[in-house]
């Protein structure tokens, strides 16, 4: 690659470092300004749904939206152009997301109709995929993810058991309270049970009979106490992850592991620890 000397290749290389890379000042500036653009374009879509804002600033918002659409289109073309393997970029998750974040605006031009305003609004919401681009800028959170992966199986069993309890309680509440008190069907009763067991408690459906209130109270106490289980599982896993990431050095004399990261000597036998892990 060092032997390629035609100017186009050099331009591509430079662009690639700026657009895909994050190790040069220019690359970092590009990423930060892109992030600001993404957040602002999403904010504009959101504010446009407020009736008052749409009335007063509707025109400016349309202009701003087209600006962002053009910016993101240019960015997408540049990415395709300077990528080492354009096709594999276009097929990658972020390639698709990048395309989806500019397409809606163009589609709205070619498919106008009676229900034009609504359609364009729904299409606009696909822009939310722009937000997902932000994830690209995250390289932290691995510890969290690993702890969640490891507790995944236990959490699945937990949610499976909770589902069974929810289903049983929903059926009982449907029989006890009945359609007259808002429990018009078992699916609605399931909705109520989830609202209650997660301690959200909207209050749009509430038990009216004494027996229903007793079962509701039991459901709440259950939700209140089983909230402890996923917390307990995850806490234990995170503790393990933190403890493990603390130090991997094993004392060559007494074989002890789990030293303090600042330790110079083994705290059990007093022999020196090697600095490389």
Show contacts with a second copy in window 47-76 (CB under 8 A): 47, 49-51
Cα 252 from Cα 271, distance rounded (Å) = 8
Q: Is 96 in the site for a second copy (CB under 8 A)?
A: no
Cα 61 from Cα 39, distance rounded (Å) = 14
Distance linking the first and last C-alpha atoms of the chain = 36
Whole-number Cα distances in Å, 175 to 41, 170, 172: 50, 9, 5
Provide, rounded to whole angstroms, the least separation between the CB of residue 88 and a second copy: 26
Residue in 87, 211, 228, 248 binding a second copy, rule: CB under 8 A: 228
Provide, rounded to whole angstroms, the least separation between the CB of residue 85 and a second copy: 28
Q: Is 246 in the site for a second copy (CB under 8 A)?
A: yes
Among positions 125-154, residues that touch a second copy (CB under 8 A) are: 125, 128, 131-132, 134-135, 138, 140-141, 143-144, 147-148, 153-154
Question: CA torsion sign, 258 to 261 to 265 to 267?
Answer: negative
Q: Is the CB of 90 or the CB of 155 nearer to a second copy?
A: 155
Among positions 164-223, residues that touch a second copy (CB under 8 A) are: 164, 167-168, 171-172, 174-175, 184-188, 190-191, 194-204, 206, 210, 213-214, 216-217, 220-221, 223
Specify whether the CB–CB gap between 208 and 179 falls below 8 A: no
Cα 219 from Cα 162, distance rounded (Å) = 11
Question: CA torsion sign, 198 to 202 to 203 to 205?
Answer: negative
Residue in 155, 181, 182, 209 binding a second copy, rule: CB under 8 A: 155
Residue in 61, 103, 120, 238 binding a second copy, rule: CB under 8 A: 238
């Amino acid at each position: 690659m060092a032997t390629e000397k035609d100017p186009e290749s050099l331009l591509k290389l430079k662009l690639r470092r700026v657009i895909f890379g994050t190790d040069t000042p220019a690359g970092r500036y590009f990423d930060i300004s892109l992030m600001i653009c993404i957040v602002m374009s999403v904010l504009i879509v959101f504010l446009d749904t407020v009736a008052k804002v749409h009335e007063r600033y509707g025109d400016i918002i349309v202009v701003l939206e087209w600006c962002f659409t053009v910016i993101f289109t240019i960015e997408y073309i540049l990415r395709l152009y300077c990528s080492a393997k354009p096709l594999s970029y276009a097929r990658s998750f972020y390639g698709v997301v990048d395309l989806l974040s500019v397409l809606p605006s163009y589609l709205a031009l070619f498919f106008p109709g009676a229900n034009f305003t609504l359609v364009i609004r729904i299409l606009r919401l696909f822009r939310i995929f722009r937000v997902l681009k932000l994830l690209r800028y995250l390289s932290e959170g691995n510890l969290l993810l690993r702890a969640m992966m490891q507790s995944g199986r236990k959490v699945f069993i937990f949610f499976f058991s909770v589902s069974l309890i929810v289903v049983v309680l929903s059926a009982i509440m449907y029989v006890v309270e009945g359609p007259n008190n808002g429990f018009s069907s078992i699916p609605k009763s399931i909705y109520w049970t989830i609202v209650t067991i997660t301690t959200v408690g909207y209050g749009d459906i509430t038990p009216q009979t004494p027996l229903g209130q007793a079962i509701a109270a039991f459901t709440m106490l259950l939700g209140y106490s089983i909230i402890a289980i996923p917390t307990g599982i995850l806490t234990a896993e995170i503790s393990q992850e933190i403890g493990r990431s603390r130090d991997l050095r094993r004392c060559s004399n007494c074989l002890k592991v789990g030293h303090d990261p600042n330790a110079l000597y083994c705290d059990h036998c007093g022999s020196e620890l090697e600095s490389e892990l």
